[in-house]
Structure 1
């Protein structure tokens, strides 16, 4: 069994804070700098073909994964890896990522969990987050990359040197609110919960007939790890049926999710959602209308799905995901890219 190295954990988490001041830069250059810092053995573990089925192997539970982790890196490699992560996310997304990783230390304490993965590493491990790159990072050709581990699955696709897709985006927290240890009171996804409850509890009795589609929340996000979302039941209240104050809360919640993304990508995603019609978005709720019992909400429209579920561990275990219904894993932009190449 590999020893749980507290010094390495502290060093990696310190680097997360050091890198938090980085702004979005030239993504292919940053990715190639990261790859150039690796030995051949580590590069071979990191790189996959863009068409490899591994790119769609999204998961957010503790399993054995492909790719290199912080356990494999020296300090130079850690810094290069985290620069890639920071350049791919907005400030909020980066904050949530590092705090979700930190929660692994909380789980290890409160569960008194010494179980190990098949590779001998601890089951609860803030260093066990994996980097995979799909294709060769390039300003001209498409490529992608993924950062994934327990309660994180961040999937990126780049075409023409910029992010063209950053979904599926999964964040999870367990505990949702930390009840003990030195992290007591920590709630990584607090704003999502606060705005969701504020919106649902602002509804009139008549509106609630449309908003509340079930008195029992599903026990997880409905889309799970599916490559394609497929058809979902049309439930909830349309944006157009909200009052002005409710619309403001709805938009604040939507913007909170968009703030997870790198600024330029967030702006493009925002414009895409608006183009498909804000009035075509709906808000739906299931389960308890107060914290402490299982609850679920979603925002759903022609191009967008946001799910938030808090039911497990006595409603103190959150899963939330963003899906681009037309371009998860960059499939739409890649299709257009290859069609353009074929025409040439």
Structure 2
């Protein structure tokens, strides 16, 4: 579905309501009272304890995936466990469910009971990184943001009950399977081979508004990613800026869902990592880490090591303003493996531009699945 088609489907903009009361949605978050339509999704007490992250997360993820399946009815399980194939894996998207029909595979979170939501929460907290504003905490805030839009009266058809969860292949210690979770402005695709996480892309995050406040608590789940790119572009002198400037506009992300998979641009553009100063190279790695840290710690370290080895041949480019404040401002990191791009999207639910950002890997997208 094209962006223009999706926009024709969208309802008229309504002003965002004031602070929402959502205390029991995430206990300990200091929000207010929970709307009746929401079921609780408690915070994991270990979620911000990186030292308690296992050396490899795969075994814990399989255990919690199986516990999630055990909590479902037979009919629900039939919608969760699907064939592992590229055809199913590429059905991820970032539009809300009302704009997609049945394109996104899996079980709707709107069918989950409180007990099933708790099991899903446990699964996601095991599958994702455990540092503040990254990994699981970032996803937690994204779900809050979608509830903010829904219960604030801004959007019908939004909220965390409009996401999908799917297992492409049965979760097991042998063989390949993918954990897919996504909905409006969020896509998670973790692929496991013989019990080990071998790919965490395509990974999409978008947010609007970029900063939102619920009952006095302010959330900025994508601020670290956006700020890392602003700092990187701001560090470039005029000569390097000229080399990095793509001198054209972008209506969307290049490798957005629906783009030809495994068809990354063959020729890198921009300023090469080898031509950057040591400080600028650190800023490139910092920007990359904002995405890779959505993985559990051990796997994130392995991916960062691979990306750091490629740094000389990794290119930085941008279009529009380096401030990343205007509609259409765009920035990209393109390496032998890593592909990250961020575009400031047109306002939709607010009067602010919205960062849309995508991390892909030229080797491990879909866990390397190509057919």
Smaller-chain TM-score bracket: 0.7 to 0.9
Partners of 2:325 and 2:344 within 8 A in 1 = no
Alignment match, 1:248? 282
Aligned partner of 1:306 among 340, 347, 369: 340
How many pairs are equivalent?
317
Match of 2:145 in 1: 103
Assess if the C-alpha contact under 8 Å between 1:219 and 1:312 holds in 2: no
Question: What CA deviation, in whole Å up to 9, does each residue of 1:277-328 have, x standing for no partner?
Answer: 2111111111112253131111101111001111311662111111111221
Deviations 1:153-177 (A, max 9, x none): 1011111111111110111111223
What is the TM-score with the length of structure 2 in the denominator? 0.78
How has the CA–CA distance of structure 1 residues 75 and 111 changed in structure 2, closer, same or farther, with 3 Å as cutoff? closer
- Name the structure 2 match of 1:238: 272
- In structure 2, the partner of 1:203 is 236
Residue 9 (structure 1) aligns with? 38
Task: Compare the two structures and name the one with the higher helix fraction.
Answer: 1
Paired residue for 1:83, among 122, 129, 135?
A: 122
Q: In the aligned structure 2, how far is the partner of 1:160 from the partner of 1:59?
A: 26
Distance 1:194 1:99, change over 3 A: same
Matched, 1:163 2:200: no
Distance 1:274 1:324, change over 3 A: same
Shift of 1:19: 6.9
Query: Is the alpha carbon distance of 1:264 and 1:8 closer, same or farther for their aligned partners in structure 2, counting shifts above 3 Å?
Result: farther
Q: 1:99 to 1:183 in 2, by over 3 A?
A: farther
Q: Deviations over 1:169-195 (max 9, x none)?
A: 1111112234x7757864321111212
Instruction: Report the 3-state secondary structure (helix = DSSP H, G, I; strand = E; otherwise coil) of the residue aligned with 1:221.
Output: coil
1:223 aligns with 2:255: yes
Q: Is the 2:192–2:199 Cα contact (8 Å) retained in structure 1?
A: yes
Quote the Cα distance in structure 1 between the aligned partners of 2:264 and 2:75.
42
- Structure 1 unaligned spans of 5+: 116-122, 336-344
CA contact (8 A) 1:131 1:146 kept: yes
Report Cα offsets for 1:224-250 as digits up to 9, x if no partner.
113514142521111111112212222
Contact 2:206 2:357 in 1 (8 A): yes
Q: CA deviation digits over 1:38-88, x for unaligned, max 9?
A: 111110111101137222201000123432233222232222211111111
- 1:238/1:283 contact within 8 Å kept: yes
